[in-house]
Amino acid sequence: MEIHIQQGKLEENIKERVFDIAILGVFENETSDFTSKSLQAVDSALDGAINGLLTRKEFVGKLNTIEIVRPDWKNSHSRLLIVGLGKKDEFSLERLRQVSGKTAVRTRELNCQEIVTTLHEIRLDNSAKDTAQAVIEGSILGMYKFVELKTDSRSEFIDIKKILLLEREMTVLDEIQEGANIGKTIAEATNFARNLANMPGNIATPTYLATKSEDLAISLGLKYNILDEEIAQEMGLNAYLSVAQGSDQPAKFIILEYTPQEKEALETIVVIGKAITFDSGGLSLKQKTGMENMKYDKSGGCTVIGLIHAVSHLQLPIHLFALIPATENLPGGKAIKPGDVIKSFSGKTIEVVNTDAEGRLVMADALTYAKKYSPTLVIDIATLTGAIRITLGAHASGLMANKEAENFKKLLTSAGEKTGERVWELPLWKEYSTHLRSDFADLKNVGGREGAAIIAAVFLSEFVEKGTPWIHLDIAGTARSDKKKAYIPKGASGVGVRLLVQFIRDLIGN
């Protein structure tokens, strides 16, 4: 999709019919004293037609509601689409992303290929750069479709080819261009992660993820390394490899490294993404209902790949390592058994009580591996526990962190509010560690149902280098959506890409 920025007045462009459809935002119960200058001018040109709709309560501006207005100018077939922004005192960049996603989908349904929008001029307390980013992000994310495996991928609707951000003020054009470029980069990286996560297990094997990561690294000039099972075994990544024992698909430990080309790196961050390409539960077999969704157990790894995709394109001054331990979890003849004891990469022994608690095993070895980079911060992101979905639902990801990460977690929480990918902190009190005591090993991999999401994080904390700031994100409730939302499709959400990019940008003051 082409993104264009242009100085001009919407009412003049409508008369000249230089686009298929124009998008204007209206606050709930807004009257003739419109916030948007473009809306005010267009309404005046239409002899108060928009205000008439509002006065008659035919359209009241409720969030994400849409109304089509057809101008009666001579020789003009252009259409206006007004979208409800909700209440003005509740307006946010997240709401701007939502209405942008909604309107982009609606314009596509109307078979419009070129649209002009002035949604970015609804700035209030936000900058032109931020609103432009939100509009483009929401539009591209909202129009996402997974059609990779359809034999006839043609849609009954024509995809939008061009979005024009029309701006009245010449002085902010550069800001708008910068914001639009950032929004496009981040949205495309998120959709890249969505595509990977939506791929079924028979295609998206560990080898598939490794190949995709290698292709990405080569195209972006990243350093990369793929550890196969033989190398991993020689190194002692036994907890990770134990999960792979039941599968015929070889495990792949993927390492990607980004360093800025022209700027000095300000921080060194290791981000680890869980990538169980299909999780049957192993010998602790899951119920058959919903097991098809276990292809999404690789979502954390897909997010990390999308993250390094975005950071590289944005050329952020940071040193970033992405670790993606990829494997299947299947109940084969060689599969790990409940009661088995394994020696992890750290040297600690683990009693495997439940083979369906496999994610923490692969992440344990990856967390130990992260020590070699002496990072400023370690973040892991994983669809780790069903318990987090019960705790927080689908509206927030769980955040747990050690005391060394205090300042980082505040920044990450703030990034969650900015991006709409909210996180909520749960405690890591010492008392929870008692649930992991084992009679036969240093610790066991599960500790019962009560506080299960926290106990899983406590398990991971055992493998973090002492003194290293560490944050754990449990995205089991947010990695996929059961229904289409404003700019989130049914299926993989790509959660975490936008969150972590915003966190890094805030961290380095970008």
Query: Residues 39, 118: contact at Cβ < 8 Å?
Result: yes
Name the H helices within 199-250.
Answer: 206-220, 229-235, 238-244
Q: Which residues pair with 341 in a beta bridge?
A: 351
Residue 66 inside a domain? The answer is yes
Residue at which a domain ends, from 186, 214, 236: 186
* Together in a domain, 131 and 208: no
* Together in a domain, 245 and 301: yes
With 0-12 / 13-18 / 19 or more C-beta atoms within 10 angstroms meaning exposed / middle / buried, residue 334 is exposed
Write the secondary structure of 361-397 as one string of H (helix), E (strand) and C (coil). HHHHHHHHHHHHHCCCEEEEEECCCHHHHHHHCCCCE
pLDDT digits (tens, 9 = 90+) for 249-258: 999 999 999 9
* Together in a domain, 161 and 218: no
Q: Say how far apart CA 41 and CA 56 lie, in whole Å.
A: 20
Residue 194 inside a domain? The answer is no
CATH of the domain at 487: 3.40.630.10
Residue 288 inside a domain? The answer is yes
Taken in order 56, 60, 61, 64, is the CA torsion positive or negative?
negative
Residue 401 inside a domain? The answer is yes
The single-letter code of the amino acid at 199 is M
Tokens of 94: 């997240």
The per-residue pLDDT for 158 is: 73
* Together in a domain, 398 and 351: yes
Structural domain including 37 reads: 2-186
Residue at which a domain ends, from 121, 154, 186: 186
Q: How many domains does the chain have?
A: 2
The single-letter code of the amino acid at 46 is L
Tokens of 30: 């807004």
Starting at the edge strand that comes first in sequence, how are the strands of the sheet with 349-351 ordered? 341-343, 349-351, 443-444
Q: Say how far apart CA 409 and CA 377 lie, in whole Å.
A: 11
Query: Residues 104, 138: contact at Cβ < 8 Å?
Result: yes
CATH of the domain at 156: 3.40.220.10
Residue 414 inside a domain? The answer is yes
Residues of the chain with pLDDT under 70: 13-19, 70-78, 153-157
Taken in order 188, 194, 197, 198, is the CA torsion positive or negative?
negative
Residue 193 inside a domain? The answer is no
pTM: 0.96
The helix/strand/coil state of 481 is strand
Q: Give yes or no: 15 in active site.
A: no
Q: Give yes or no: 286 in active site.
A: yes
From 9, 145, 162, 286, the catalytic residue: 286
Continuous segment of H or E residues that includes residue 472: strand 470-474
* Together in a domain, 445 and 308: yes
Q: Say how far apart CA 238 and CA 259 lie, in whole Å.
A: 30
The per-residue pLDDT for 74 is: 44
* Together in a domain, 223 and 330: yes
* Together in a domain, 367 and 419: yes
Q: Are strands 66-69 and 491-492 parallel, antiparallel or unpaired?
A: unpaired
* Together in a domain, 265 and 146: no
Q: Say how far apart CA 238 and CA 346 lie, in whole Å.
A: 10
Q: Which residues pair with 320 in a beta bridge?
A: 258, 269
* Together in a domain, 442 and 469: yes
* Together in a domain, 149 and 272: no
Residue at which a domain ends, from 128, 157, 186: 186
Q: Are strands 223-227 and 252-258 parallel, antiparallel or unpaired?
A: antiparallel
Residue 459: closest CA among 337, 365, 331: 365
The per-residue pLDDT for 30 is: 85
The per-residue pLDDT for 154 is: 63
Q: Say how far apart CA 294 and CA 296 lie, in whole Å.
A: 5
* Together in a domain, 214 and 175: no
Cα angle at 501 between 36 and 190, to 5 degrees? 80
Residue 476: closest CA among 242, 234, 303, 308: 303
* Together in a domain, 179 and 206: no
Cα angle at 187 between 148 and 408, to 5 degrees? 125
Residue 379 inside a domain? The answer is yes
Q: Which are the contacts of 54, defined by CB distance < 8 A and separation ≥ 6? A: 26, 29, 30, 31, 60, 61
Residue 192 inside a domain? The answer is no
From 129, 360, 418, 444, the catalytic residue: 360
The single-letter code of the amino acid at 144 is Y
Query: Residues 472, 401: contact at Cβ < 8 Å?
Result: yes
The values of phi and psi at residue 485, to 5°, are -115, -170
